[in-house]
Structure 1
Amino acid sequence: MLVVETVAKIRRAYFVQHKPIKQICRELKLSRKVVRKVIRSEATAFRYTRSVQPAPKLGPWHDELDRMLTANTGKPARERLTLTRIFEALRGLGYEGGYDAVRRYAKTWKRQQASVTASAFVPLAFAPGEAYQFDWSHEIVLIAGVTTTVKVAHVRLCHSRMLFVRAYPRESQEMVFDAHDRVFAFFRGTCQRGIYDNMKTAVETIFVGRERAYNRRFLQMCSHYLVEPVACTPASGWEKGQVENQVGLVRERLFTPRVRVRSYNELNALLLDGVVAYAKTHPHPEQRDLTIWQAFEAERGALVPYAGRFDGFHAVPAAVSSTCLVRFDNNKYSVMASAIGRPVEVRAYAERIEIRQDGRVVAEHPRAFGRGQTVFDPWHYVPVLARKPGALRNGAPFKDWVLPAALERIRRKLAGSADGHRQMVEILTAVLGDGLSAVEAACAEALREGVHSADVVLNILARQREPPAPAPLLTPESLRLRHEPVADCARYDSLRRAP
């Protein structure tokens, strides 16, 4: 095979130095056929390719090898066999040839398959405010020193390319609702269409074509924000390619190196600062004279106005145990003692849990995302203490209970009394009727007087509940006496002297 350097020497010797072909052949030790081929073809490089590859031993096995290669390509990536394993399987069936012939055939087969399956796409263009794309990704961060896999919600405006990301512990429906509300509040509006994949929190059934049966609560959210949901074709991520590309961009710029934060709030603040900084410093891919942020500011006027927060909760029924606890998502939450005996509805939000019974809120807690945790509100158990005051000593809800300063001082002073727990329970029970601020004020007044018994505190509360003295009556000026009468007892004395 002629190398490029030899071809260049031949061409320079003939066309520049005007040497005859015979001399060139003698100096470069080449045949006249080769030199004439270079001169006449005017090519600067020659490459030999075999048009037909003889395969005397592999030829009868082409069909079987095609079948094995096709089956192997259809398997998941982790289950695919190497070419060596395929060669060994072919030998087991009776093939007597070598590995190199199998390798060359497999290379040709793979190239032919790639040309058949290669797809072409049409670039898309979106009008301002027309559509946004939504997707999830999984990232690894350190939260409070613990390696945690977080779920990151990605949203991207298709026209201005403005991006928004927020991290959550789960991909559940209430997280989807919260992510939409926060991004629409940040954008100060939304688009006419939202482009999604077929996530279970949005799509319940996939029909032929574009027809979908959407989740009822998801449709309620879209109706609230005046968004038309559009689901992609299954396994066709290119239909929302902008947000798919955003996942890699955000992972490289905001999650590399591994992020170390103390809480989800700190992580989300960091992500928001990162996307704003990126948008303000990078040009729009199509409008090169504008940054992404400037294109976003121009698009804001075309967005559908923000409709306010959607009440995005996921509701499930639950039962109340005899210990005033409700189980939800592998954790337990306390409820008011009056809720025992009847079912409740647990409304799960992204960051809190709300428990209702007959339309009345019987508990509200910050949401726990671990397993086997119990979240108490000690005030839920105060009515129980009225009947069982001894539970104040060892009751699990009252461990590390932080009371207001005045109540805490009263509790410490009563701890040394024989009936201190009973008196403290009486004071705590008064909170249910008089309110925490009134009881705290009564405790503070009692402490100023140098006493701390429950009777004194309850007496102060009773005096506070007494109605105020009526205001004095004012006599109108027109009814006032202008000449006060003078007392005259003479007539009375005359009557006494009468016989």
Structure 2
Amino acid sequence: MKGVDTIARIRREFFIRGRSIKDIVRDLHVSRNTVRKVIRSGATSFAYEREVQPLPKLGPWRDDLDRLLATNASRQPRERLTLIRVFEVLRGLGYEGGYDAVRRYAKGWKRERTAITAPAFVPLSFAPGEAYQFDWSHEIALIGGVTTTVKVAHIRLCHSRMLFVRAYPRESQEMVFDAHDRAFAFFRGACQRGIYDNMKTAVETIFVGRERAYNRRFLQMCSHYLVEPVACTPASGWEKGQVENQVGLVRERLFTPRIRVKSYDELNALLLHGVIAYAKAHPHPEERERSVWERFEAERAALVPYAGRFDGFHAVPAAVSSTCLVRFDNNKYSVAASAIGRPVEVRAYAERVEIRQDGRIVAEHARVFGRGQTVFDPWHYVPVLARKPGALRNGAPFKDWVLPAALDRVRRKLAGSADGDRQMVEILTAVLGDGLPAVEAACAEALREGVHSADVVLNILARQREPAAAVTLPTPEGLRLRHEPVADCARYDSLRRAR
């Protein structure tokens, strides 16, 4: 069939210039039937589609080809054969036709199958404060000069479409708790329902339908914020499509090009600034005249009031080694020397580690990630130094120990003495009883007087201690004096004269 340009020329020559069909045929080199069809139909384009495709050689092999195509489509994407491989398998069965016929048939087979299985969805609408959606994504960032895969927590309010994101080194449960707390503090409230996928930190068992057995600590968090958790159907990401779309949006706008930061704190500050800027600059998809931020400000009144921080820790039991160390998450943390010999409980938070024994805190450290790292608090080992003062010089916890200015000057002055380590240990041991401010003040006073020995510092501490308050006992009424005696010194004078 002729192209649209030829059809346009035929129509202009006939209807505008009034030329005959014979002249048009001679000038444009087309058939009379073509010119008549263009003039009579009034169409500006024609397309030809074969209604019936004869397949003389492929016809007997249609059932085999259907079976091969169906089997190939049911495989995992990585295991599927290319169409040329399917053609080779069919040739092995005895097919003698060409590849082009197989390709055309496979194209029609796929089109028909897609039309049958194409999913259809119903658009959803949420009331203010009704629900939020939660999900994780993995992104690439340059942190401290090292290319790092960060885990990003995504939370999105379903009504206003307001988003919140925060990056973490892990996807563990304490990170889930921290992400919820920071998001609700930013939103100034929570929603009535939270929509999740079946992540292991929240769901322990999947039953028929929507029945789930949730993790005990996760339920505690939901109860604290008055949120009802709802889990999606497995492999049905469209049930939380808003947060799924948010993952791609954040990846495109905030992580492209690759972010270069010094720490996670700097990264999260950039992410928070980015989501606020996006919300203020982009219109709401359902109310184009208002921005996402304006809809969010209006929704805040319908949120469940923020209940304060949830104590979101992940607790595991641990043992204390003879070197006052506790192993957790492939790293080691020091504890107070008094904790040796009994088990402890490690409470892991997103940014710190708290170690308890019998309800009291025996250590608290900033959390480290990676493997094989050891975190020391030198004050945990001061009671051990009282018995082994020689360990002060080469002890690993005391390497690069930053002491207050006055204590550090005393330590450097005592380093030249024969028993300098022993004297310094005596001063450090006094911190356990008198406190660091008092010992530092005593060291500063001793240095002003031009001395630095442990005896002088301990003497100053002894003088600075407040005396114990005198105990006054009540006097019984029968023993109380009615007439106080008057002192008469003349009696002593008479005794002196008699001598």
Q: Does TM, scored on the shorter chain, surpass 0.5?
A: yes
- 2:239 alignment partner AA: E
Q: Partner residue of 1:478?
A: none
TM-superposed CA distance for 1:154, in Å, is: 1.0
Please give the TM-score of this superposition, normalised by the length of structure 2: 0.91
Select between 68-77 and 281-290 the one with higher mean Cα deviation: 68-77
Counterpart in 2 of 1:475? none
1:352 aligns with 2:355: no
Identity %: 82
Tell me, in whole angstroms, the C-alpha distance in 2 between the residues paired with 1:356 and 1:206.
34
Residue 66, structure 1, aligned to residue 63, structure 2: no
Equivalent in the alignment of 1:33? 33
The count of residues paired between Structure 1 and Structure 2 equals 484
Letter in 2 for 1:140: I
- Alignment correspondent of 2:105: 105
> Could you tell me how far 1:188 is from its partner in structure 2?
0.5
| Aligned-partner SS, 1:153 | strand
Equivalent runs, 1:38-437 vs 2, <5 Å: 38-437=38-437
Opposite residue 105 of structure 2, the aligned amino acid is Y
Matched residue type, 2:83:
L
**What CA deviation, in whole Å up to 9, does each residue of 1:287-344 have, x standing for no partner?**
1221111111111111110000000011111111111111111111111111112111
Partner of 1:4 in structure 2? 4
Deviates more, 1:5-14 or 1:446-455: 5-14
How far is 1:454 from its partner? 1.5
Instruction: Report the 3-state secondary structure (helix = DSSP H, G, I; strand = E; otherwise coil) of the residue aligned with 1:137.
Output: strand
Distance 1:434 1:64, change over 3 A: farther
Deviates more, 1:98-107 or 1:262-271: 98-107
Name the CA shift for 1:430/1:11 in 2 (closer, same or farther; >3 Å). Answer: same
Structure 1: runs of 5 or more not aligned: 472-480
C-alpha separation between the residues in 1 aligned to 2:203 and 2:469? 67
Question: SS state of the match for residue 125, structure 1?
Answer: coil
Cα deviation for residue 127 of structure 1 reads 1.0
CA distance in 2, matches of 1:323, 1:155: 43
Q: Residue 492 and residue 423 in structure 1: after superposition, are their counterparts in 2 closer, same or farther (change >3 A)? A: closer
In 2: Cα distance, 1:63 partner to 1:391 partner = 84
Residue 66 of structure 1 and its aligned partner are, at CA, apart by 2.6
Give the letter for the 2:87 counterpart: F
CA apart distance, 1:404? 1.0
Separation in 1, partners of 2:490, 2:416: 71
Counterparts of 1:320 and 1:90, CA distance in 2 = 68
Deviations 1:96-130 (A, max 9, x none): 22221222122112212221221221111111111
Aligned equivalent of 1:474: none
Cα distance in 2 between the residues matched to 1:461 and 1:488: 46
- What SS does the corresponding residue of 1:301 show, helix, strand or coil? helix
Query: Which AA in structure 2 matches 1:288?
Result: R
Give the secondary structure class of the aligned counterpart of 1:322: coil
CA distance in 1, matches of 2:489, 2:405: 63
Residue identity opposite 2:142 in structure 1: L
Equivalent position SS for 2:234: coil
Question: 1:380-414: CA deviations, max 9, x gaps?
Answer: 11111111111111111111111111111111111
Q: CA deviation at 1:273?
A: 0.9
Give the 3 Å change call, closer, same or farther, for CA 226–405 of structure 1 in structure 2. same
Residue of structure 1 equivalent to 2:455: 455
Structure 1 letter corresponding to 2:112: Q
Q: Give ranges in structure 2 of 5+ residues lacking alignment.
A: 472-482
TM score, norm. by length of structure 1: 0.91
Partner Cα separation in structure 2 for residue 197 and residue 487 of structure 1: 98
Moved more, 459-468 or 268-277: 459-468
In structure 1, what is the equivalent of residue 24 of structure 2?
Answer: 24
User: How big is the shift at 1:175?
Assistant: 0.5
Query: Secondary structure, in 3 states, of the residue corresponding to 1:147?
Result: strand
Q: Separation in 2 of the partners of 1:93 and 1:69? A: 14
